[in-house]
Amino acid sequence: MNAKQLLLCRLDELHQQINSSDEYDVLKAAATIRQLFLDGSNSLVDIVNRTYDRKLEFTIVEHNPPNIPCLPMPDIWCCIDSIDPRRAPYTLPRVKKTRAQFFSTVIGIANGESYSVKDLTNFHY
């Protein structure tokens, strides 16, 4: 199996994982995303994209933590799946992000600590 075939299989697997009603399948999606995008020069997307040299874009609905002058940052805040344009109201603006911008997007705060898409993808328990 070559890298392109493996990439297509892993993308299909990711689709099944994120749409599963089984919590374990959904958790396995993080490992699939890591293999696809976050394994540095060994990521499947990078290996296959050496042939195509495409710039990756992620379209999201960007949310920012509340920033109210004279008030501290919230201890808890999250947007989780509301960055997905398919799940957000169509009236909210969509933004395009590079891969680096997407994975650094803050999607939650817990105990005053910010967590990005990459942090969530790399989370192990």
Whether 16 shows a pLDDT value over 90: the answer reads: yes
Q: What percentage of the chain carries pLDDT values higher than 70?
A: 97
What is residue 67's predicted lDDT score, i.e. its pLDDT? 78
The residue extents of the domains of the chain are: 1-53, 55-125
**pTM across the whole model:** 0.85
Across the strands, what pairs with 41? none
Contact 90, 3 (CB under 8 A): no
